[in-house]
Amino acid sequence: MRLHLCAVGRLRAGPERALVDDYVGRFNRMARPLGFGALHEQEVEDRKGGGMAAEAELLVRALPPSCLLVVLDERGQQHTSPEFAARLAGWRDEGRAELAFVIGGSDGLAPTLRDKAHHAISFGRMVWPHMLVRVMFAEQIYRAATILSGSPYHRS
């Protein structure tokens, strides 16, 4: 199963970029033995100022065809790390070929895109800056892989 992280905004060089690259690299080194393909990051940017609707259109174009669509949204379900790992493994075991995680811009996701999602995940009721959400989610993807592999990284 190939994984995609589609996000609004371009991470420039800095601490957020370094952290995302680190966690994506760690996940990618573990992915194959766990039955996952590499995690690919796709960034989109609305340079015309069209708001959430324009961002949603760019995100939809960046999604792989026939992917399972999972959005990160404050209204989504909250999972523990082991629950998220189990859900990721379940999607893999269902034979899904493509799984896309979507992070909206600073205003969130357009309702039309949220409504198309197969699943929504929340990091809690607080609102987080979308660039930090990307870092936190990259870490959770890596953590899920360590849980599935039995690594001691996640201690519960």
From residue 61, alpha-carbon distances to 48, 57, 77 in Å are 16, 6, 25
- Mean per-residue pLDDT for 85-90? 97
Q: Which pTM does this prediction carry?
A: 0.92
- Strand-pairing partners, residue 62, are none
Model confidence pLDDT, tens digit, residues 17-56: 999 999 999 999 999 999 999 999 999 998 888 888 999 9
Class for domain 2-149, per CATH? alpha beta
Radius of gyration of the chain (CA): 15
100 membership: H or E segment, kind and range? strand 98-103
Reply yes or no on whether the pLDDT at 155 is more than 90: no
Question: What are the tokens at 67?
Answer: 């992917």
Ranges of each domain in the chain: 2-149
- Model pLDDT for residues 138-149, shown as the tens digit of each residue: 999 999 999 999
What contacts 24+ positions apart, CB below 8 Å, involve 23-28? 23/135, 23/138, 23/139, 23/141, 23/142, 24/138, 24/141, 24/142, 26/142, 26/145, 27/138, 27/141, 27/142, 27/145
Rounded distance between C-alpha atoms, residue 8 and residue 108, angstroms? 9
